[in-house]
Structure 1
């Protein structure tokens, strides 16, 4: 008795239970994306931040990595000078105090000389002083008196100064800012302080021809007039090495960023460019204590390397404009002439005769316009 074993073939296809699909690429690593968050049934769902999936691919798969878009570069603001550096009034005394101190020191020197007995008889008679004690001489006490009186006189007369209108002094002691003097008249300032004179009047500066460009990138040479003044003397003197050079460089930087209208542009376009230049220079010069009122282009011309070509181009444009204007005038004159002749019944013209008359009138008017200087 033989037993036949029947082999039932397994069904082809995926199994009934849930299973994870096989990877198509063995070296691929992926991150699941929560797609169900994009298809919610809420009428007004709250925004859910979903981070984009980042797919990393290993070497040897032939896949190119995804490139991220670079972030836009923002313009950096002008750096602020030391915030603690600001103008403040300095401590000064009236000039009379210095004069009195200097006179006191001078009188002390004379008294020490009389005490030591070194004054000549003529000076004693002029000052009506009695004779000194005999044999006093120049001892330690007399030299101490000389030193004190001399120091007082030097401090008194050495600290005198004259403050003028529109001028200021920036005072410093051993590299430290000690204040600003804007007072006028005779003043006494500590002679140990370093004085730096600053012009605080309203000033104007006419620049030399500076490089610039118009809206199409054509090279220009621009001369600007800048009206400005020093508002904060401490920042203008101590914040930068030279505030006048800094202002000049600010104007050059603004001309490099703002397109300037070409020669012969309208007044409105020139005013727009001047306003833009003024705003930029004001923003750049304010941190160093400079107050700019206006930056006005006073002369605009083409750069030497493009001047000849732009001059020919401008002449050609003017010639074309003049020809177009003349042609428009001739056509209007011919039309008016033919219309008047026809409307008044002076001539009766068919199409051929009308064309001939228009041609002859056009040639005649054009010849007359060209011969007119």
Structure 2
């Protein structure tokens, strides 16, 4: 079922015509009754009935709203999307549906990420109705349908990514790549909600954290990873400084250090640079005579 436009005209013109039909019909009935003209009475009554049918088809459509019309026998005949007063097909049921942009905040869900770690996640879903017939007739309650499918999609997308990665493999993660994850969630949701005539405008993660039972352990792991990364940078810098020091001593002073002296110098400089606490200077007098 696809949305289609139903016949409708300006309601003010239709209202004026209905009033005119009633007045003319009433006059014809009065004239026919006084002059004993059955044809005038019949024509006047017919005009009044037509006016009543026309007046019953008057409907008001608000801004960013639509009216979905069905015959009293249940057949869908079309939708009015224009705002204002309109006269349309009589003997129809009219259902109002909002075309405004709305949002839905999902509850905080506990799911397992790609690595099986329990995480807490929640998202905000921004959506609007683009096909009124599908929204009303393809699903039972499209707003409830959006809520249920949104939570299902959040669970599914969260299971496709790890919460975080502790190596340099550049994989997408829930914590480091929120934009990519949101785009994937939008794609997943749109596929699920096409049947309801709903368009996803935007999705964003509003809550993301490790579950309480593993949060402390994962925090320690993150701290350890950060410390190891920092140590690696410090060691690389210390080695570079030591190499430059030995090279400049040999170049500027012409001093040729033995392997034992080089090892001693390297050891002292590495300890001095890498140590977290301030080092105490020690004077070596073992060779003094």
C-alpha separation in 2, matches of 1:316 and 1:267: 18
Shift of 1:212: 4.1
C-alpha separation in 1, matches of 2:210 and 2:73: 51
Count of residues paired in the alignment: 258
- Residues 261, 270 of structure 1: 8 Å contact kept: no
C-alpha separation in 2, matches of 1:295 and 1:251: 10
The yes-or-no answer on 1:364 pairing with 2:268 is no
C-alpha separation in 1, matches of 2:264 and 2:60: 92
C-alpha separation in 2, matches of 1:251 and 1:273: 14
The yes-or-no answer on 1:197 pairing with 2:96 is yes
**TM-score, scaled relative to structure 1:** 0.57
SS at match of 2:190: helix
Q: Tell me what 1:224 maps to.
A: 123
The yes-or-no answer on 1:86 pairing with 2:12 is no
Q: Tell me what 1:168 maps to.
A: 66
What do the CA deviations read for 1:169-192 (whole angstroms, capped 9, x no partner)? 112224332321112221124564
Q: Tell me what 2:156 maps to.
A: 257
Larger radius of gyration: 1
C-alpha separation in 2, matches of 1:297 and 1:363: 46
C-alpha separation in 2, matches of 1:270 and 1:261: 12
Q: Tell me what 2:14 maps to.
A: 97
The yes-or-no answer on 1:312 pairing with 2:220 is yes
What do the CA deviations read for 1:151-206 (whole angstroms, capped 9, x no partner)? 77765555432223421111222433232111222112456432221122444444
* Higher helix proportion: 2
Task: Name structure 2 gaps, 5 residues minimum.
Answer: 35-44, 166-172, 279-289
C-alpha separation in 1, matches of 2:19 and 2:161: 60
- Residues 87, 232 of structure 1: 8 Å contact kept: yes
Task: Name structure 1 gaps, 5 residues minimum.
Answer: 1-84, 116-132, 134-146
C-alpha separation in 2, matches of 1:242 and 1:166: 20
C-alpha separation in 2, matches of 1:322 and 1:306: 24
**TM-score, scaled relative to structure 2:** 0.71
Shift of 1:234: 0.7
C-alpha separation in 2, matches of 1:311 and 1:320: 14
SS at match of 1:187: strand
- Residues 263, 301 of structure 1: 8 Å contact kept: no
Shift of 1:363: 1.9
**What RMSD over aligned residues (CA atoms) do the two structures have, in Å?**
3.8
Query: Which of 260, 271, 276 lines up with 2:184 in the alignment?
Result: 276
- Residues 64, 83 of structure 2: 8 Å contact kept: no
Structure 1 residues 191 and 312: alpha-carbon distance in aligned structure 2, compared to 1, 3 A threshold? farther
What do the CA deviations read for 1:56-108 (whole angstroms, capped 9, x no partner)? xxxxxxxxxxxxxxxxxxxxxxxxxxxxx221222333212134425754897
SS at match of 2:128: strand
- Residues 109, 121 of structure 2: 8 Å contact kept: yes
SS at match of 1:262: coil
* Higher strand proportion: 2
Query: Which of 87, 90, 115 lines up with 1:188 in the alignment?
Result: 87
- Residues 175, 208 of structure 2: 8 Å contact kept: no
